[in-house]
Chain A
Amino acid sequence: RKEVEQDPGPFNVPEGATVAFNCTYSNSASQSFFWYRQDCRKEPKLLMSVYSSGNEDGRFTAQLNRASQYISLLIRDSKLSDSATYLCVVNMNRGSTLGRLYFGRGTQLTVWP
């Protein structure tokens, strides 16, 4: 079983729509959780960290449910510029490697005018 599982999509939504992405992780010892954004043929960039209490950054809201090992990202009022692949990322210490990141396959979002 993969460490991080995501629905690859694609999600095609009109501007202004609200869209939600989900992610599950397999290891209950996971310590930190993130959503990254990756544009086509570019490196991933940190979108936001995810905390147990839930956190919001403008139009983006992230939630973590440790009991269910489930992470979500909600995007409100979608913009054309939100079109990208969204990566669910989990951090674990593994052996002697501190802060090892595990990436989901990513969920592709296309926002159309």
Chain B
Amino acid sequence: GAVVSQHPSWVICKSGTSVKIECRSLDFQATTMFWYRQFPKQSLMLMATSNEGSKATYEQGVEKDKFLINHASLTLSTLTVTSAHPEDSSFYICSARDPSGVPYEQYFGPGTRLTVT
């Protein structure tokens, strides 16, 4: 099946700093990638949909100036958490859709665990 990688797998940063998370589709070209956030014992919540070559579409309540998304190529999307605060500590997961694959199926990256101290 299709493979999606994320980097880093975990990161600890100080409050006020910015963190960049990369999401790559390794064996297919993903025109659409999704960014999710999951707090402990909660469901995955979609933050934004990232389309290659265009601006991301953010879900209601997600600050686009705080969570910067760049989808510069068909295999790479990045999420930058700017001026991170402890409440941003969470599990961030990306997914990608293979346009030549099963309709509506998304392939998930292994996630990035962010801890802001």
Contact = CB atoms under 8 A, between A and B. Distances in A.
* Best-surrounded residue of A42, A97, A98 (most CB of chain B within 10 A): A97
A103 B93 contact: no
A43 interface: yes
B43 A87 contact: yes
Contact of B43 (A31, A32, A96, A104): A104
Interface in A60-107: 87, 91, 96-101, 103-106
Nearest to B44: A103
Given A32-B103, A97-B49, A103-B44, A44 B108 contact: yes
Interface residues of A, number: 22
B100 interface: no
Contact of A41 (B104, B106, B108, B113): B113
A59 interface: no
Contacts of B97: 99
Contact size range, B = 20 to 34
Main secondary structure of the interface of A (DSSP, over half): strand
Contact of A42 (B45, B104, B106, B110): B110
B100 to A, nearest CB: 14
Contacts of B63: none
Interface in A1-32: 4, 8, 31-32
Nearest to A32: B104
Contacts of A8: 41
A26 B46 CA distance: 17
Given A43-B93, A105-B43, A97 B109 contact: no
B108 A103 contact: no
B43 A103 contact: yes
Given A101-B104, A103-B43, 16 more contacts: A41-B111, A41-B113, A42-B110, A43-B111, A44-B44, A44-B108, A46-B105, A87-B43, A87-B44, A97-B57, A99-B104, A101-B46, A101-B106, A105-B41, A105-B42, A106-B43
